[in-house]
Structure 1
């Protein structure tokens, strides 16, 4: 069971954001999509989720468990986004966690929007799974640290038992110790629940701790790919070498 992307191309008029992108994300693995800002990492994620703006012209094939999702009607794609693929957008703690609502009320609203019943026992179990005490349900977002907020978002991404998670820069603005704790959570979830995670990051230090496999993207094109440790030990391109050197500088 996997998400497989073949010959993906995304263009906005004459501007080509992604060119000939290929990837396979298998259950039980973590793939890191690595690259500097503006390299097209988030565009790949949004193409997989089919949430790019209408102006984007997408071609190629994207298979989810052998189903070509680019050919699906939107109503079926919405169902897949609910039950199969969960997305943690970059900076989402500021966008999705309403500071005027308690964490429990934020989650209740998510359930109501989907006409589903609030499952308190399940939510408590998910919070424990991401190393949070259930008592945070009674707190407001401003009362939590950046690391706690990110763990809340991971718990929310698990509410409807997805098989794939796409996490866009999940450790941005977090300190190194908190980054590693978030990475440990992703690895634990992959092992215990058999999930697959597409990790979007510019941080090779984080990627090498978490991912099995890496894809380096630059200006919409794959520069190199392979097992993450090999990419770091023996980078072939100057782009990857610069990312490695930048990561080593902040370790």
Structure 2
């Protein structure tokens, strides 16, 4: 079943961060949510995951398996995040990997938290999928490059066989060559595992490498939606045109 977002509205007091947001995300496809900083992209992602702070007032509907995620009890939502939706968070990978633990120990802790046994063969398979050698398991985060750390987080996001992944600015601090490598990994894993991915990014150049569809968000409002390649070739709004022109300049 797809994820369907209907009339999503997010407010902090009188300030409306996102209004009337709609989206459909199918398994086997990647939707890029594109916009400048402050447009509400990460806020949408966190609303779907139900990890916004309590001060945020969220209305609308987010359906998965005929259940409105926004109306689930906290326990049911935690179970859904474990089994259905995985998250690649925004920011430095070093923030999310304990510097005192080897990569293998971090992963073992995740398994223990879910009362599951450590599956070394599966982990090695996932590391190879993201172009990492299994020996990286015995290293500490400080021993890895930014690109390696990001690929570790991608592998971790796949540990428990999710149906959907939300990737929040996964390449923001990486060089262009590493970004292209990550784009290839995303496309391959979505295809091979029939995942659905919501890619949050301000970088249209990266999005066009990987996404099937794009949503342009600006100041909390959807400006444009369509197939990624068509949107690049024939942008309708000035905001989208500016994003396209900017990405071409970078290239």
Bin of the TM-score, shorter chain as denominator length: over 0.9
Quote how far apart the aligned CAs of 1:95 are.
1.4
Counterpart residue number, 1:182: 182
Quote how far apart the aligned CAs of 1:74 are.
0.6
Q: TM-score, normalised by structure 2?
A: 0.98
Provide the rounded CA distance (Å) in 2 between the counterparts of 1:138 and 1:176.
28
The answer on 1:166 being equivalent to 2:154 is no
Counterpart residue number, 2:235: 235
Q: Give the CA RMSD over aligned residues.
A: 0.9
Quote how far apart the aligned CAs of 1:115 are.
2.2
Counterpart residue number, 2:105: 105
Quote how far apart the aligned CAs of 1:174 are.
0.9
Provide the rounded CA distance (Å) in 2 between the counterparts of 1:142 and 1:208.
31
The answer on 1:117 being equivalent to 2:117 is yes
Structure 1: runs of 5 or more not aligned: none
Quote how far apart the aligned CAs of 1:173 are.
1.4
The answer on 1:85 being equivalent to 2:90 is no
Quote how far apart the aligned CAs of 1:113 are.
2.0
Query: What is the 5 A alignment of 1:213-224?
Result: 213-224=213-224
Provide the rounded CA distance (Å) in 1 between the counterparts of 2:149 and 2:204.
22
The question of whether the paired residues in 1 share the 8 Å contact of 2:127 and 2:133 is answered with yes
Counterpart residue number, 1:55: 55
Q: TM-score, normalised by structure 1?
A: 0.98
Aligned residues: 251
Provide the rounded CA distance (Å) in 1 between the counterparts of 2:92 and 2:80.
20
Provide the rounded CA distance (Å) in 2 between the counterparts of 1:95 and 1:2.
31
Aligned structure 1 segments of 4 or more residues deviating by more than 6 angstroms: none
Greater shift in the superposed pair: 108-117 or 14-23: 108-117
Structure 2: runs of 5 or more not aligned: none
Provide the rounded CA distance (Å) in 1 between the counterparts of 2:229 and 2:125.
33
Counterpart residue number, 2:72: 72
